[in-house]
C-alpha cells in the first residue's frame, strides 16, 4: 500500500447504517465530507440485518442503528463502551400511493378497519418497524388475515412496493416513507399503538482512527444537521 493509499484510508469514514436513516445520510454525507475534507462510505440495511453482520465480525468506524441495537452491540463488546450517541427519533406511519384517498387511522378502531378492508399490505420482515408491526397485528387479533394478503420483503423501503402498485398500504418508519417519491403519508399509527424509535451512533471498539468519528458526532449535533433530520421525518434529539 502506498503512502497516498494509506492516507486515503485514514481520511475515509466507514459507516454501517439502518435504512431508516438513508434519506438523512444522503443529504448529510456530502455536507460532512466537504467540511471534514474526507470521504464517507455508507452501507445500508435494516438494524437487525446490520446487527447480524456486526455480530458475525464485520467492522467499520461507526454504526447508526436503533438505540437498543447500539446498546446490545456495546454490551457484546463490538462497539466501544460509552460511545453511544442518541441523535434522532421517529415513529411508525402508514402510507398509500400518491393520489389515492388518504385513509383515516387516528383511532385504533379506524386503523384496524383500514387494515382489514385493504386489498394488500406491505411491511418488512427484519426491519425494526416491521417486527414491531407484526406484534401489533397479533395484539389486534388480525395477524392471520393481514399476513394472508401481505407482501413482506426482508428489508428496504417498502414505499417502493406501494408505488409500483404491488400493495395498497405500506407500514414503516415515517422517515422511510417520506424518502419515497410518489408516496403519500396518511399519518402515524394511533397513539395507543405507536412505537417511537430512537436512533443512535456507536463507535466500533477497534476503529482504525478516532478523530473522524468524533468529528462526525459533533456534526450530528450541529444546527444544520438537525434541520435536515427534521425535514426528513427524524425528530432531532
| Res. 201: pLDDT tops 60 | yes
pLDDT tens digits for 45-56?
A: 999 999 999 999
Which pLDDT does position 2 carry in this prediction? Answer: 34
Lowest-confidence region among 75-79, 112-116, 167-171, 212-216: 212-216
pLDDT of the residue at 215: 87
How far is the C-alpha of 148 from the C-alpha of 126, rounded, in Å? 18
How far is the C-alpha of 217 from the C-alpha of 143, rounded, in Å?
A: 40
Average per-residue pLDDT for the chain: 91
Angle at 30 between CA 27 and CA 35, to 5 degrees: 125
> CB of 122 within 8 A of CB of 162?
yes
Question: Residue 168 pLDDT > 50, yes or no?
Answer: yes
Tell me how far apart the alpha carbons of residues 125 and 210 are, in angstroms, rounded to a whole number: 35
- Please give the Cα distance from 110 to 113 (Å, whole number): 5
Which is more confidently placed, 34 or 5? Answer: 34
- pLDDT (0 to 100) of residue 209: 56
In this prediction, residues 32-52 reach a mean pLDDT of: 89
pLDDT at 5 over 70: no
pTM score of the predicted model: 0.84
Share of the chain above pLDDT 90, in %: 84
Q: Domains in the chain and their CATH numbers?
A: 3-89+197-236 (3.40.190.10), 92-188 (3.40.190.10)
Residue 36 or residue 198, greater confidence: 198
In terms of C-beta density within 10 A (0-12 exposed, 13-18 middle, 19 or more buried), how is residue 85 classed? buried
CA distance 163 to 95: 10
pLDDT at 4: 36
Query: Residue 206's pLDDT is what?
Result: 76
Amino acid at each position: 500500500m502506498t503512502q497516498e493509499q494509506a492516507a486515503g484510508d485514514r481520511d475515509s469514514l466507514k459507516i454501517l447504517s439502518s435504512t431508516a436513516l438513508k434519506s438523512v445520510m444522503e443529504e448529510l454525507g456530502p455536507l460532512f465530507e466537504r467540511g471534514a475534507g474526507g470521504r464517507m462510505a455508507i452501507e445500508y440495511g435494516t438494524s437487525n440485518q446490520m446487527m447480524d453482520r456486526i455480530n458475525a465480525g464485520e467492522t467499520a468506524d461507526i454504526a447508526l442503528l436503533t438505540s437498543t441495537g447500539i446498546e446490545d452491540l456495546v454490551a457484546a463488546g463490538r462497539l466501544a463502551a460509552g460511545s453511544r450517541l442518541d441523535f434522532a427519533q421517529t415513529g411508525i406511519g402508514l402510507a398509500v400511493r400518491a393520489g389515492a384517498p388518504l385513509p383515516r387511522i387516528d383511532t385504533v378502531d379506524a386503523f384496524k378497519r383500514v387494515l382489514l378492508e385493504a386489498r394488500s399490505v406491505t411491511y418488512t420482515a427484519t426491519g425494526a418497524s416491521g417486527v414491531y408491526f407484526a406484534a401489533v397485528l397479533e395484539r389486534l387479533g388480525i395477524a392471520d388475515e393481514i399476513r394472508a394478503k401481505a407482501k413482506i420483503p426482508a428489508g428496504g423501503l417498502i414505499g417502493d412496493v406501494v408505488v409500483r402498485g404491488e400493495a395498497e398500504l405500506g407500514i414503516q418508519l415515517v422517515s422511510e416513507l417520506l424518502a419515497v417519491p410518489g408516496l403519500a403519508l396518511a399519518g402515524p399509527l394511533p397513539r395507543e399503538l405507536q412505537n417511537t424509535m430512537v436512533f443512535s451512533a456507536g463507535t466500533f471498539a477497534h476503529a482504525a482512527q478516532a478523530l473522524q468519528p468524533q468529528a462526525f458526532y459533533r456534526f450530528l449535533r450541529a444546527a444544520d444537521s438537525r434541520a435536515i433530520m427534521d425535514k426528513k421525518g427524524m425528530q432531532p434529539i
